[in-house]
Amino acid sequence: MDPAISTAPTPLHAHLVAPARDLTQHNFAISTAPTPLHADLIARVRDLAQHNFAARVPAYDREAAFPAEDFDDLRRAGLLSTAVPPEYGGAGIGPHRGNVLTLWLMTKEIAKADLSLARCWEGHCNSMVLIDGMAHDAQKQRWFRGVVNAGEIWVAWSGEPQARASVQKTGFGTTTSKVDGGYLVDGKKAFATSAGGAHWAILLVSTAGPGGARHNTGIAETLLLLACDLSDPSVTVDRSWWDPIGMRGTASHVVQFDRTFIPDENLIGRPGQYLSEGWQTCFIPHYAATFLGAAEAAYEFCLEYVRSQDKSADPYIQHHIGQSAINIETGQLWLRHVAGLWDAGCHNEAQLAGGRARHVMEHLAEDTVKRSIRACGARSLNRPSSLERIYRDLSFYVRHDNDDHLLATIGRSLLGQQHDPSFFKP
């Protein structure tokens, strides 16, 4: 399915539409279809996903192993530089480059094969977007060269949940202090996606104390983005913590920093810039693209399964198939809408719409997966079954951000209350 889209009304036509009730207070913009060049990028990643990634995913899932061979394929295909600007040798795809839909559709294709790989890929591409938007030229020269020429993999690590779970032995958190010529980072981060596979991590740390970007209650100006070379011997990966229900191949281990020195030249942007400019909002709809991939994969599995069982005449199955297809179409329309706002430079509206899209897509994807399970039955949850894995992966990945809080932020914006589209503030 590739929904055709009517463009927004011209000013003349908009004038003819009675403005009876404006429920959304924002424009409806739609990203145009990808250009042939961008369609080729999507086709290349789809080809890899279907022919290479899908076959490897059961082993990565079982072993909770970083999908290293998939990243080798992405490197060989030149796709690791997708979000690197063209002036530094990349394809120049991203939210500030007028073509973000292409990136999200590439992510969706990867997620259809493997949600964990999609998370690792998101982390890499999102890091490229941050460097493009916040780093200075010498840093871009240095780091983009490593990606384009040497296939270096990046990721962004904030995760320092502060409230200790009752089953947890020790807490997480880093302290960061200024020293001569740089910074010392000490402590632990959890949910460090791509740990053991990535070469560089953008650490979101605060000189005010533990908590990263999401869980820190200190003043925003203390939040720093520090590029950390993960080959530094003071950085170690603790593989004993990560044994989750799903998203196992993200290898989101605990990483320990033992007074890791990060030089001044690795500070990205100004202190607090990440929060004051709302950079997280570039990435929230990217998660929705991954959820959409889960929905499409479950739907396609279901379609093939019920056809093979000759159940197409069953009216309940017809309902599940019909509703799932509508869910997917709705998700595709939402992504196009948010991408259109980014492309049109309507950044404030894009930031809020991204949260709406992520909220909607979480529910549409979960509904589609549940319908697929109902239509296919118990055997579809017996391994090996991609539906079984998608069910586990999705139920875990949607915990990356709190949907109740997202919805509260949307409500606050409509009620004229103070709100932050990046992170919920109680």
Residues that bind ligand FAD (CB under 6 A): 119, 123, 155-159, 161, 163, 191, 193, 214-215, 247, 250, 252, 396-397, 399-400, 402, 405, 426
Q: How far is the CB of 407 from ligand FAD (least distance, A)?
A: 12
8-state DSSP, 6: P
Q: How far is the CB of 381 from ligand FAD (least distance, A)?
A: 21
Q: How far is the CB of 180 from ligand FAD (least distance, A)?
A: 28
Q: How far is the CB of 165 from ligand FAD (least distance, A)?
A: 7
Whole-angstrom distance, CA of residue 293 vs CA of residue 303: 15
User: 214 near 158, Cβ under 8 Å?
Assistant: yes
Altogether, the residues listed in the chain come to a count of 426
Q: Indicate the residue among 120 and 328 with the shorter CB distance to ligand FAD.
A: 120
Cα–Cα nearest to 255, from 192, 200, 346: 192
Q: How far is the CB of 252 from ligand FAD (least distance, A)?
A: 5
Whole-angstrom distance, CA of residue 270 vs CA of residue 207: 13
Q: How far is the CB of 127 from ligand FAD (least distance, A)?
A: 10
Q: Indicate the residue among 201 and 317 with the shorter CB distance to ligand FAD.
A: 201
Q: Indicate the residue among 30 and 195 with the shorter CB distance to ligand FAD.
A: 195
CB atoms within 10 A of CB 138: 9
From edge to edge, which strands make up the β-sheet containing 200-206? 154-157, 200-206, 223-229
Q: Residue 327 has which token pair?
A: 């869910």
Q: Indicate the residue among 121 and 301 with the shorter CB distance to ligand FAD.
A: 121
Q: Indicate the residue among 35 and 217 with the shorter CB distance to ligand FAD.
A: 217
Cα–Cα nearest to 7, from 33, 34, 42: 33
User: 383 near 355, Cβ under 8 Å?
Assistant: no
Q: Contacts from 175-178 at CB under 8 Å and sequence distance 24+?
A: 175/209, 175/210, 176/205, 176/206, 176/207, 176/224, 176/226, 177/207, 178/207
Q: How far is the CB of 68 from ligand FAD (least distance, A)?
A: 17
Q: Indicate the residue among 38 and 124 with the shorter CB distance to ligand FAD.
A: 124
8-state DSSP, 229: E
Whole-angstrom distance, CA of residue 40 vs CA of residue 380: 33
CB atoms within 10 A of CB 378: 7
Q: Indicate the residue among 161 and 187 with the shorter CB distance to ligand FAD.
A: 161
Q: Indicate the residue among 29 and 198 with the shorter CB distance to ligand FAD.
A: 198
CB atoms within 10 A of CB 102: 26
Q: How far is the CB of 122 from ligand FAD (least distance, A)?
A: 8
